[in-house]
Amino acid sequence: MNNATWEFEKKLNYEFKDKSLLEMALTHSSYHYVIKENKALHNNERLEFLGDAFLDAIISEELYARLPDVEEGTLTKMRAKIVCEETLAVCGAKIDVGNFLKLGRGEEKSGGRRRESIIADAVEAIIGAMFLDGGYDCAKKFVLSLFGQAVEEALSGKLHTDYKSEMQERVQGSSQKPLKYRVTGTTGPDHDKVFYVDLFLGDEVIGRGRGKSKKEAERNAAKEALERSDKFVF
């Protein structure tokens, strides 16, 4: 067991019996290497697929148990807030996933260790790996520990709003004009780039945002548009 694996297992508060599962969970698709015995390309995408399904199930079970009188539609929206990319990335930062990832040179240079989508995918892959290594109860305990704060914030209505979805729903209900996000510029080096996005309703700019990723900048543009919604007509 190398020092990095040992250090990361301490952050997870879990020791893998099969270390190769953890190694695979931390290997991004840009980091290509081939297992000579079967020529299979190993990365975390299959584990991510498994972890995504398991995470949905555990959060659904938790919300179902704790909110016995809440209808399905509300439970679905609440779950979507908890298992979204933003929350996954926040949870990944708690266990410092970015510093333990295996990335290709291009992703490394372009700031992949801090990219929300990559960190979110790795968190799901880790959940999938833990499910295979330790079983249902072990993985469930990890999920509820890591996502506990997000669950409590969702239950109290304090978890972040999905501004883009809310904006889309607002427009669909009251306007025929198309909603479009457009990157207007970037600043900073590749490993620490800042994106600037304008949100258009038809030909009118209704919101502007910035962020460390295009998605973050788009979210912030949608948030500004919602905050200024009394200033324009949908």
Structurally, at CATH architecture level, domain 3-155 sits in: Orthogonal Bundle (1.10)
| Mean pLDDT, range 97-115, rounded to an integer | 89
> What is the structure's pLDDT at 181?
97
| Mean pLDDT, range 168-178, rounded to an integer | 80
> What is the structure's pLDDT at 231?
63
Of 47, 81, 145, 153, the C-alpha closest to 137 is: 145
| Mean pLDDT, range 61-79, rounded to an integer | 95
Q: Which of 23, 52, 107, 216 is catalytic?
A: 52
Structurally, at CATH architecture level, domain 163-231 sits in: 2-Layer Sandwich (3.30)
pLDDT over threshold 60, residue 196: yes
166 classed as catalytic: no
> What is the structure's pLDDT at 41?
57
What is the share, in percent, of the chain residues with pLDDT greater than 90?
62
**For 1-48, what is each residue's pLDDT tens digit?**
567 888 999 999 999 999 999 999 999 998 865 444 443 458 999 999
Residue boundaries of the structural domains of the chain: 3-155, 163-231
| Mean pLDDT, range 144-158, rounded to an integer | 92
Given a contact cutoff of 8 angstroms between Cβ atoms, the answer to whether 97 and 123 are in contact is: yes
124 classed as catalytic: yes
> What is the structure's pLDDT at 94?
94
Q: Which of 48, 62, 124, 216 is catalytic?
A: 124
User: For the whole model, what pTM was predicted?
Assistant: 0.73
pLDDT over threshold 70, residue 93: yes
| Mean pLDDT, range 201-213, rounded to an integer | 91
pLDDT over threshold 70, residue 96: yes
The confidence band for 157, taking pLDDT boundaries of 50, 70 and 90, is: confident
What are the structure tokens assigned to 81, written together? Answer: 């807030």
Parallel/antiparallel/unpaired status of strands 40-41 and 204-211: unpaired
The better pLDDT of the pair 139, 4 is held by: 139
The better pLDDT of the pair 151, 6 is held by: 151
The confidence band for 186, taking pLDDT boundaries of 50, 70 and 90, is: very high
- For tokens 């990095």, the residue is 4
> What is the structure's pLDDT at 39?
35
| Mean pLDDT, range 130-137, rounded to an integer | 97
Least confident of 31-35, 59-63, 128-132, 154-158: 31-35
* All residues at 6 or more sequence positions from 87 whose CB lies less than 8 Å from its CB, including other chains: 81, 147, 150, 159, 160
> What is the structure's pLDDT at 34?
43
CA-to-CA separations, 134 to 4, 127, 160, 199, in angstroms, rounded: 20, 10, 31, 45
| Mean pLDDT, range 82-98, rounded to an integer | 93
Q: What is the mean pLDDT of the chain?
A: 88
